Structure 1
Amino acid sequence: MAGTMEHGGRRRRWMVPWSVAALLLLLPLVAMLFTDEMAWDGADFAIMGAMLFGACGAYELGARTSGNIAYRVALGILIVTALFLAWISLAAGIIGSEDHPANLMYGGVLAVAVLGALLVRLRPEGMARASALTALAQISAGATALAAGWGSTGADGPGKLAVLTGIFALLWLLSAWLFRQAARVQAAGAA
Structure 2
Amino acid sequence: MMTQKQTTFTIYALPLVLLCVPLVGNIISSEVNWSPSDFLIAGILLFATAFLVNLVRSKIKKQSWKILICAVIVLVLALTWIELAVGIFGSPFAGN
TM-score interval for Structure 1 and Structure 2 normalised by the shorter chain: 0.7 to 0.9
For 1:39, the equivalent position in structure 2 comes to 33
Percentage of identical aligned residues: 26
Distance 1:48-1:80 versus aligned 2 partners, 3 A rule? same
Of structures 1 and 2, the one with the larger relative CO (CA 8 A, separation 6+) is 1
Report the CA distance shift for 1:67/1:9 in structure 2 as closer, same or farther (over 3 A).
Answer: farther
Which residue matches 1:54?
48
Partner of 1:65: 59
Matched residues in 1 for 2:14 and 2:70: separation?
A: 13
Q: In 2, Cα distance between the equivalents of 1:22 and 1:79?
A: 18
Larger Rg: 1
- Write the distance in 2 (CA, Å) between the matches of 1:37 and 1:81: 27
Secondary structure at the aligned position of 2:59 is classed as coil
Is 1:103 aligned with 2:87?
Answer: no
Which amino acid letter does the alignment assign opposite residue 103 of structure 1? S
State the partner residue of 2:8. 14
Deviation at 1:75, TM superposition (A): 2.4
**CA RMSD, 1 decimal:** 2.0
Deviation at 1:65, TM superposition (A): 1.9
Matched, 1:29 2:17: no
Q: CA deviation at 1:16?
A: 2.1
CA distance in structure 2 between the partners assigned to 1:27 and 1:35 by the alignment = 12
Question: How far is the alpha carbon of 1:79 from its aligned partner?
Answer: 1.4
> 1:69 offset after TM fit, Å?
2.8
Alpha-carbon distance in structure 1 between the residues aligned to 2:60 and 2:34: 38
Runs (4+) of structure 1 exceeding 6 A deviation are: none
Q: 1:74 aligns with which of 41, 49, 68?
A: 68
> What secondary structure, in the 3-state scheme, does the structure 2 residue paired with 1:64 have?
helix
Equivalent residues of 1:32, 1:38 under 8 A apart: yes
Unpaired segments of 5 or more residues in structure 1?
Answer: 1-7, 96-101, 105-191
Where do 5+ consecutive residues of structure 2 fail to align?
none
Q: TM-score, normalised by structure 1?
A: 0.44
Residue type of the alignment partner of 2:48: G
More helix by share: 1
- Count of matched residue pairs: 92
